Structure 1
């Protein structure tokens, strides 16, 4: 099943404030982190949901494998060729 494509504007609405979903993007994929207690209210330490976190991953104390436990819900438009 092919994942739907979302724009940055659509991703931004899934910030835990404007809509009930809490989504973040990483390396072109959008993940639903709504069930994570660490993303409560759309904030995780100094990071905000509804954004592409690819550039911020280098400063994280974990690797991208942490996202494997979350469902991929889409692809960020223009991020993957």
Structure 2
């Protein structure tokens, strides 16, 4: 799997490029297809970031990432 830096992930925030990506536990997921991530944000969470520490605030488990394609690893 291709590796990306935090700076490269940050460019996939739904504003700078069409891709909307976020990372969880070192894996980067493409959430572009989700209507819940339109414009690069989902409630108080922002795309282009590592959301590992934020998942505890979410009303769902990490199984939510099973819906999305893993596109890379976060360095």
User: Please, what TM-score do these two structures have when normalized by structure 2?
Assistant: 0.99
- Post-superposition shift, 1:17? 0.2
What is aligned with 1:44? 42
Distance in structure 1 (CA, Å) of the matches to 2:44 and 2:58: 10
Tell me the matched-pair count: 75
Contiguous gaps of at least 5 residues in structure 2: none
Whole-angstrom distance in 1 between the partners of 2:11 and 2:70: 17
The equivalences for 1:1-80 within 5 A come to: 3-77=1-75
Deviations 1:24-80 (A, max 9, x none): 000000000000000001010001000000000011100000000100000000xxx
TM-align CA RMSD: 0.3
**Which runs of structure 1 show a deviation greater than 2 angstroms over 4 or more consecutive aligned residues?**
none
TM superposition score normalised by structure 1:
0.92
What is the alpha-carbon distance in structure 1 between the residues aligned to residue 18 and residue 39 of structure 2?
9
Instruction: Name the larger-Rg structure.
Output: 1
**How many angstroms apart in 2 are the aligned matches of 1:25 and 1:53?**
6
